[in-house]
Chains A and B, each alone.
Chain A
């Protein structure tokens, strides 16, 4: 009987372990599927908000416009039809708010019952008109042309440089500034963190004695445990004002501030991983070098560092990965301007910061909402590629040993 119970318990424990593994894997899978299904649903939807229709006179040859062109027209950067492939005629903008300039309230009717007819007449009578109004006011026998606006698509999404997800009448979904902002901040973070981190790792692995190491190691591990909002707070109160003062800037919230804060945050990862790599250098290798009359520094420089180079690269890439996904601290110190970065002393905006800042105000299921999920997908792909890269590098190391 007891034998039966023991086997029963063994099976039970085995089942519980298997269930935990399965549930975890399924959860991860579920998150990925959810992210991608929401993100991909952005594409092939229209970037025109609030069911607006964009219409022109039927003599106007322009039959389709890109979201960027519409924006330029509304910003009055484009004022002539010939710039978008039409005739040489200036563009006259019309939105539904301008209707009172043309017709009185009686003419439209108290329930807007005559509005479609009047709009039709208006579009038909002014050749250079670009009129934007809700598609329910497009009358059945509309004489003008409803302009087709390019659907949201992946190439434009990735290569577009304008991020105005709430623009009227057409949203601008170009995420290149955000992607560049993310890389910009992360790469400079690593440029700050790698020399310091590597120096610390060498010091801990090869120079410091056991006592000193036992003090430093927990401090560095503590650094990894500080909540990111605290780093952001520190950056905002200490680093941002300093940068503003030193470089004499109007605002201190810059890519530089983000890089410094992220660099500090990436330090524990870089130090721990590269210290492990350095410590993994076989003792025989070190002894061989010392026995040939090399001093400690020559041994570090000529034997230990080359031997642990793949581990150190993995540390750097992991550090970048950590920096790319970081949200809160960056959101607090980078200024969040969605522009293409070309200087460290300029505000930038990263992908995670964008998602965190905007998801709350995007209406669920809307273009903006879906665009944020698509951004999430891009971030996921980037970090996944980075993880695969690290995996590849560490595997390569195993084979050369």
Chain B
């Protein structure tokens, strides 16, 4: 069974047809990169899986989106906040809360009704270690998250997403606002996280997609042009549009 599946998904922002019949499957414990020029629908597609698009007025969705074989839009009794506990998300810009480092990571646990102190402390430590941030912040957990650098803040946001133990992590250009060294750290992290999580990542950076992902999907004007092993997409694409995009001729 596939971890994630979309079947002929159409999405409209009022009159604008943003996704045109996307069908795609993702296996467990893989990294899938979504690439394509700006406005091609890749971020919108990513946000389908934790229903973030619901926050926007005038969105209409057709087709099926499955997580572990269950339709996340039409299954009775599946609440959106429950879904979001299984599908974590990291955003383009680091967006820590104006709280302490500790409280940022503990937030997801607290809103899910967990108040057991030792358990929270344990989860915070594990998550920060998974996000490769523990060594840098273990002595200043009580300090404001704003005191961290941009790269550290983004890793904090990753730790925050991991703390509630999701099975899928969505990343919307997680390194686009960071310097090369921080970017490298994040990429390394993504590679390691693959063992435990299924990861989907939107990126503008071809090299990054090539480095971190197993599968790559190329989107253009709301359509999924090509979806294959990353190796194939970058070396031997079937579609000429993919070819010209990955070689940098447009985008």
Binding site for B on A (CB under 8 A): 209-210, 282, 284-285, 287-295, 298, 302-303, 306-307, 400
Contact = CB atoms under 8 A, between A and B. Distances in A.
B97 A303 contact: yes
A399 to B, nearest CB: 11
Interface stretch (B106-114, B178-186, B187-195, B203-211): B106-114
B245 interface: no
A285 to B, nearest CB: 6
Interface string B68-104: 0000000000000110110011010101111100000
Given A282-B95, A288-B97, A291-B88, 12 more contacts: A210-B57, A284-B95, A285-B95, A285-B97, A287-B55, A288-B96, A289-B107, A290-B55, A292-B85, A292-B164, A294-B81, A306-B99
Interface-central residue, A210, A285, A292, A294, by most chain B CB under 10 Å: A292
B160 A292 contact: yes
A287 B85 contact: no
Contacts of A210: 57
Contacts of B110: 302
Contacts of A291: 50, 52, 84, 88-89, 91, 161
10 contacts: A287-B55, A288-B97, A289-B97, A290-B55, A291-B161, A292-B111, A293-B81, A293-B112, A294-B81, A307-B98
B224 interface: no
Contact of A295 (B52, B81, B97): B81
A103 B112 CA distance: 95
Interface residues of B, number: 27
A49 to B, nearest CB: 60
A284 B91 contact: yes
B93 A292 contact: no
A288 B95 CA distance: 7
B35 interface: no
Contacts of B97: 285, 288-289, 303
B212 to A, nearest CB: 21
Nearest to A294: B111
Contact of B107 (A284, A287, A292): A292
Contacts of B107: 289, 292, 294, 302
B132 interface: no
List the 4 closest A-B pairs by CB distance, nearest first.
A292-B108, A294-B111, A284-B95, A293-B85
A298 B91 CA distance: 20
A341 to B, nearest CB: 40
B47 to A, nearest CB: 10
A4 B95 CA distance: 55
B155 to A, nearest CB: 14
B108 to A, nearest CB: 4
B91 A288 contact: yes
A289 B111 contact: yes
Nearest to A282: B95
A293 B52 contact: no
A284 B93 contact: yes
Given A210-B57, A298-B111, A302-B107, A290 B84 contact: yes
B98 A293 contact: no
A194 B68 CA distance: 47
B111 A302 contact: yes
Contacts of B128: none
Contacts of A295: 81, 111
A323 to B, nearest CB: 30
Given A210-B57, A287-B55, A288-B157, A293 B95 contact: no
A289 B108 CA distance: 8
Contacts of A400: 98, 146
B98 A306 contact: yes
A279 to B, nearest CB: 15
Nearest to A292: B108
Contact of B88 (A285, A292, A307): A292
Nearest to B112: A293
Contacts of B91: 284, 287-288, 291
Interface-central residue, A209, A290, A400, by most chain B CB under 10 Å: A290
Nearest to B95: A284
B238 to A, nearest CB: 35
Interface string B148-174: 000000000100110010000000000
Nearest to A288: B95
Contacts of A284: 91, 93, 95
